[in-house]
Amino acid sequence: MVTPAVRMFRRVEGLFCVYKPSGVHWKLVRDNIETNLLKGINAAPSQPCPQEIRFLAHPGSDTEAPKGLTLSVASVPVLSKHPLVTGPKFDSIQVGVGHRLDAFSSGVLVLAVGNGNKYLNDLYKTRITRDYTLEGEFGTATDDFSHMGRVVERSTYDHITQDKLNKVLAMLQGANQKALLMYSNVDMRSQEAYEMAVMGLLGPEGKSQPILTGLRCIRFQPPNFTLEVQCLNETQKFLRKVVHEIGLELRSNAVCKGVRRTRDGPFTLQDALTHHHWTVSDVMQAIKQYNSSMKKKKYSKSQTKTSGLQPVEENTPACQQNETNEGAMGAGGIK
């Protein structure tokens, strides 16, 4: 018989995302969520203790001639099945982590519970992109490209303008677009490459070097600036190095003050659960919303394919009707 704890566990199997704060290791986030899920699932109301029939012995009364025992039938609980004897239903839960964030980065962190780990692997096989916002500062260079590293050089930045910054960003994006095509292993002159590009499936096969698919400046207040980045197969260290290289291209220096992931595939900041919502009920609700959104996307795609084929079917009778009208007009002309 399925217990309430098992039913609750089946409802938390799936994919969801949380917001990882800066300064916290991703393992601590995972362990915290795993502990909260275990407490919530094991706190589910347990089923009543099963009963069994037993013959209980009672001492005979003094009035009875033969002294002995009398037996009575009674229903008693099976103590071996009592929750205090069996202990919690679950002692561990498999919580998988998607594309990880280092300790000094923040943002969307995708997690999977139970069978959701299989869906997590399938998700990252589809060459999904991720969005970041990078906080940079001109004028300083450090040994690890972050503002907390050891300063190795200082330089001026008064000559940097937003136009110059945009030109450098466009140059970097163009170089990465060429790398994206090179790692795709598809002939760019083929029909297959065209169809994959139209459907947004053009990307590197398997693991490749980090690639920037989008790069733009959304705030420019020297010495501070903010970049919005879209990328594949990246690491946070690579993104900090990008900020450093941008400073060098502008004949200055730059350090990265913050890395924040705003999107990981279909998961955005609006879907991320904050620390106060890392509970069983909130996780179940997040998984339910993700599953429903995926169903809607699949339905919309099927409707799009159907609507794309529908005009062809509608045009055929129209052509036939035009041919009939032309034939009638021709017959009228002959008359």
The CA-based dihedral angle spanning residues 31, 35, 37, 40, taken in that order and rounded to the nearest 10 degrees: -170
Beta bridge partners of 59: 69
113, 93 contact by CB (below 8 A): yes
Helices (H), 60-206: 83-86, 116-124, 162-182, 191-199
List 31, 62, 91, 102, catalytic entry: 102
- Main-chain dihedrals φ then ψ at residue 305, nearest 5 degrees: -65, -40
Tokens 């139970």 belong to residue: 114
Known catalytic residue at 102: yes
Burial of 238 (0-12, 13-18, 19+ CB in 10 A): middle
Helices (H), the chain: 4-11, 26-42, 83-86, 116-124, 162-182, 191-199, 236-249, 280-334
Residue 74 makes CB contacts below 8 A (sequence gap 6+) with 53, 54, 55, 56
For the annotated catalytic residues, the residue numbers are 102
